[in-house]
Amino acid sequence: MKPAYLNLIQEQAMHNCTVTPAFSEAVTTYTCGNEGCTFKAEFAKTRFNMVSPHTCFTIHYPQNTDLMKEGDTIVLSFSFDEIFEVQLKSGQRYDARYGQFPHDSFIGKPYGVKVQNNRNNGFVIPLRFQPVLHTEALKRRTQIIFTPDISLIVNKVGLRPGHTVIEAGIGSGSLSHAFLQAINPGKLYNFDLYQERVDQAQLEFANYSDNCISQQSNVLVDGFKNVPNGVSDLVFLDLPSPELCLADVIRVSKPYSHFVIFLPCIEQIHQLCAEMYKNEHFGSVEVVKMNYNAFEFDNRTLGALQLYRGAKNVSDAKKFVQMRKVAVGRTHTGYLVFSRRKE
């Protein structure tokens, strides 16, 4: 119980509060030392849980912090690799292995605060919706394009607010959200072969309804339907045979605009480049493959003898930061082909 008590003291010290009575193994309930405060914490298993909140102070959130409201899509972060998307609806709840979290416990609170479950023995941190978090949390309908590839596309092309992007192959919508954030209030035209993916995309992109147009179409056969000529700053294709729609890519592209293709196999790149070199409208072609590596940092000391541990100017007794590579599940994702249209 002593470690849990020390954690409780540290938590309350952040609010300039003390805890009473003094520590004892026989005491399982502690209160705030400030007169008249109703704060109470009870010991349960391995930690102290708050039973009633402080009344001796009020937490003032920053004025520019948006509060969560009903209908918002938020990201619940339980740990680094456990994040989930939830749309807040009054009266409903989210069940997890960390407990039950009523949606009403989020509504009216700012992003980033700890929200306790209904038993006060577990918590979650709600985060604002971001494309990078959406990529990690989404329910995948197809193989997705991951954050390293997305960041390379957006930055290498230089997408800016007001740009127009055409995307063929919506899939799970991972890249679409990043495009919409980068070009808002510009327009995104995206296409997919399957109607159910288009319908799901229209639901997910409801917040961008004015500048996102999702359509069902076989781009390789029908081209980019309902897209005006010469409007696109970027055409992105995630299709098996992109060389079949090069003519329509030229039609919808601005002079000197970008053309990016995602392909999983090197043989597909050979076929695409052969057709692009025959076409006078495309400039040089660059093929890029992203290698994703993860590293962990921790503080270490060498195994020094007891005699040297308290000595000064002994390198063996000093802490140092160690970086080591850790295994990741993803290996090969695909190749990115970059090109630009000539005048």
Q: Say if residue 192 carries a ligand binding annotation.
A: yes
The reply to whether 238 sits in an annotated binding site is: yes
233 is in an annotated binding site: no
Nearest-angstrom CA–CA distance, 195 and 290: 31
Residue 174 marked as a ligand binder: yes
298 is known to lie in a ligand binding site? no
Annotated binding site for S-adenosyl-L-methionine: 172-175, 192, 238
The binding site consists of 172-175, 192, 238
